[in-house]
Amino acid sequence: MSCLLLLLASLLWAGMAWGQQAESQADDIEIAVRKEGATVIVDVGMPVKASLRSAWEVLTDYDHMAEFFPNLDSSKVVEQQGNRLRIEQTGKVAYGPLSFPFESVREIVLTPYSKVHSKAVAGTIKHGEAITRLVSEGSTTRIFYHSESVPNTWVPPGIGPNLIAGRTREQFASLREEILRRANRERPAMAETGETPGKANGNSSAASGTSAGASGDAGRGRAESSEGVK
């Protein structure tokens, strides 16, 4: 019992440290995590100074998510029919010296450029659904995320939500950093061609489920994060 208490205390300290560090780096990201029975509910609100199109292309870039989400080892689209996708992701969540691997298979329904609905169909989560919404506010896009999930492992009522909140903030900060990185890279090219940021061009097929992404074919128009947010 004393070992268990020591472990829980160390996890709480680690969670507070991560949370404080993430808070200082992304204190404008609103995070709310709570438990209702076995269900973990996460709500996020995050502004990013980029166009709706730029935010969408990163949110939907499933084939490259492992490159900018620190908890993902792999991410790929295994099936696509129009705006309906099935994705597989693997990764691990680290709490101090401990590391917990996870697998996720999700069905995605896209509504460009405003909403992504995600449902877990296999993996280490018994049940999980999430909705990501994008709202344009001039030169800023605001991202809203809501998820309800039942993990296969027990989540301690007090410590668990705090740790999840810290990790979620970290994930969304990484997401915003990637959106800004790509948006800043695109602006000089748009200035040369006279194209308006966020304006769909003749080759764009994001409205039918494809997206530009990191390397010209990245993502095929896919969206959403997590505890991660995933």
What is the pLDDT, as a whole number, of residue 65? 96
pTM: predicted TM-score of the whole model, two decimal places? 0.73
Cis peptide bond N-terminal to 113, omega within 30: yes
- Contacting residues for 26 by C-beta, under 8 A, at least 6 apart: 46, 169, 172, 173, 176
Tokens describing residue 195 = 């194209």
What is the pLDDT, as a whole number, of residue 187? 67
Number of residues assigned to the chain: 230
Q: How far apart are CA 113 and CA 97, in angstroms?
A: 40
| Domains of the chain with CATH codes | 34-198 (3.30.530.20)
What is the pLDDT, as a whole number, of residue 133? 98
Q: How far apart are CA 37 and CA 118, in angstroms?
A: 22
118 and 229 in contact (C-beta within 8 Å)? no
With left for phi above 0 and alpha for psi between -120 and 50, is residue 163 left, alpha or beta? alpha
What is the pLDDT, as a whole number, of residue 101? 84
Residues forming beta bridges with residue 135, ordered by sequence position = 142
What is the pLDDT, as a whole number, of residue 131? 98
Under-50 pLDDT residues of the chain: 1-24, 199-230
